[in-house]
Structures are given as structure tokens and as C-alpha cells.
Amino acid sequence: MAVIEVQDLVVRYGARTAVAGVSFEAHASRVLGLLGPNGAGKTTTVETLEGYRQPAAGRVAVLGMDPVADRRALAPRIGVMLQQGGVYARMSPRQALRLFAGYYREPEDPESLLERLALVDAARTPWRHLSGGERQRLSLALALVGKPTVAFLDEPTAGVDPAGRLAIRQVVRDLADGGACVVLTTHELDEAQHLADNLVIVDQGRVIAQGSPSELMAGVGGGSIRFGAPPHLDVASLSATLGAAVVEDSPGEYTVSTSPTPQAVATLTSWLAQRSLPLADLRAGRGTLEDVFLQLTGTPGTGQAGGAAVQGGRSRGRRSAGHRSERSEGAGRRRTGSRR
């Protein structure tokens, strides 16, 4: 049984439609990544699941309950991580975690959370003196102190250094492995690719793709080779050698319009070797999550979709969408941590 069910969800701000018929499910012991450009409808969808928005149409259920009508029963079972707010400026991480722990009957041990999220050294530091990464890790700790069955995490690794990023990844993975349903919203595609078991990509208020990262990535790049090399190669010469078109997509990034057969790859690397040119990277056989995202949503600033919508690795026709009307990311959700 799905922990989260969203069926034909519609949310409006006045005459503007922010979410226009979104449907998906999320399950226990799984991380669901919710991706999309700014204004796509991600935040509005999550706010509806948390009980902060009333649907204009459709149905949402979290743990079988209505997030608005059953808010009192549902709130102790969910954890919410936001990017800012919710902690007094003079309050330390240890004080904040002890305060939030007092809201729950069986909370997580604050000291354990400080250790798991590498906050022990900063445990007595006032919030206003914490670094951006430390504040972010504290926000995650506050979302988890109530031992949530469902966790909504908004950009959990934004502004976090590499060591902190690894710590957060492990905590999120442990949370799912412990049976929780985790909904992750992020703009960091590499993070989503590493953390999410399943992905839902939304654009202009509609779901345009969903499936596992491997399913979605298998749908792009199969008929091309992408590689990195010094900028401004003689693409005419390389095209003639390969018998296929070569395009420099951006300085030092190239796409060869041919199937990634061993012979084609060998010919490419041989051409570079003969000219003593280094090969920075080589991607053949399937695209990256960024390739999927750009193909479906269009390059930044174009507002055009680059392909059909995909579900579970299968293509389906994309319907026209309404205005981009979602409010700025995080609008209306300024407090951090689990809600009561």
C-alpha cells in the first residue's frame, strides 16, 4: 500500500493554476525525488501533502489520511525540513533539538542526531553563528527528531560542503532503510540520482516523467556518444572519420550522432590519440539525469520541452500545460522542523 497517494491534484492561486492534474505514489522504505524547474509546481504539491494547501480538485492521502482534515493525527508522524527559519538566533543546535524533542512522546535522542549529522563541535554555537552547511544539517536533524514515518526534505544538501553532503546522504538512506517514506525536492540532479529510488519530474504543473533513475536515463542518449575534450576541436575532420555528425554543444562538450558501438568508441579515442588530445570523459549507452531533465523541460530560458513525457521508461504524449504560476520556492513555509 502506498504511503502517499496523489491523484489528479489541482491547486490554484486565484485564477492561476499552479498544479494541473498531478498523480504519483510514494512508498515506505523508499526515497522519492520530486524534480522540476522553478515554478513547476513542486513546492505547492508538497505543501498540499503537508496540509498547508487545500486542493481545488483531485485527492491526496498521507498514511491513508487527509492532510487537512486529519492534520492533528497526521502531524506527529511527519517531519518537514525547510531551508530557512524556525530557530531562534541565539539558540544552539543542542537547545533546539532538546526543545523539539519535547514535542514528541518517543523522540530521537538529540545527542545521537548531533553525532550523526556532524554537529557535535557546533552543538553549543548560537544559530546565528553557524555556517550555512551547519544550519542545513540542523534543519535536517530537527525534521528527524520526532522519528517521522514520512519525511519531506527540501534541498537537504544545498550549501553543504562535501563531507557534510556525504553525512546527509547517509542519514537519508538510513531513514529510508529504517522504513520511512522520504520525499526529496531538489534542484541538484546528481543528488537525486544518488539518493532517489524513484523520480517524479514536474513542469508547468504537470507530471512529465516518472520512474527509477535508471529507467529514465535509459530513455535518452542511446543513439549518441557524448564526450569531453579540449574546446574547438576540428569537428569536420572528426565527423568524416566517424561517418557521423559531431556537434560541440558547449566549449569542450561534444555529441556524436551515432550508436555507441565499440568500433565507434575506438575510432573516436584513436582520433584523439593521434592528435595527443586528452579525453576528459566519455558517456555512451545512456544519458545522465541532467540529459533527461533538459530533454523534457528544455534548456534554461527556452521554456520549451525537448521531448515526450516518460513514465516508467515508456513514452507518452505530453499535454499542453498552463501558466507557470507556482509561488517562489518555499513561499508560505517559513518554519523549520517537524510540525505539530
Q: How confident is the model at residue 285 (pLDDT cuts 50, 70, 90)?
A: low
| Tens-place pLDDT, residues 179-220 | 999 999 988 888 888 899 999 999 999 999 999 988 888 766
Crossing angle, helix 132-144 and helix 162-177, to 10 degrees? 10
Please state, in angstroms and rounded to a whole number, the distance separating the CA atoms of residues 285 and 293: 17
- Kindly compute the dihedral angle of the four CA atoms of residues 218, 220, 222, 228, in this order, to the nearest 10 degrees: -110
Give pLDDT tens digits for 141-164. Answer: 999 999 999 999 998 988 888 888
Q: What is the DSSP letter of 127?
A: G
Percent of the chain with pLDDT over 90: 67
Within the chain, strands assigned E span: 4-13, 16-26, 30-35, 57-62, 78-81, 150-154, 181-185, 198-203, 206-211, 225-228, 246-250, 253-256, 281-284, 309-311, 314-316
Cell digits for 29?
522504505
Per-residue pLDDT tens over the stretch 219-254: 665 678 989 999 999 999 999 999 999 999 999 999
Kindly report the pTM of this predicted structure.
0.76
What count of other Cβ atoms lies within 10 Å of the Cβ of residue 264?
17
Rounded mean pLDDT, 19-41: 95
Mean pLDDT of 254-283: 94
Out of 67-71, 172-176, 226-230, 330-334, least confident range: 330-334
30 in Cβ contact with 184 (< 8 Å): no
Q: For strands 150-154 and 225-228, give the pairing.
A: unpaired
pLDDT tens digits along 78-104: 999 976 767 899 999 999 999 999 999
Going across the sheet that includes 4-13, the strands are 16-26, 4-13, 57-62
With beta carbons less than 8 A apart as the criterion, state whether 160 and 168 touch. yes
Quote the distance between the C-alpha of residue 339 and its chain's center: 22
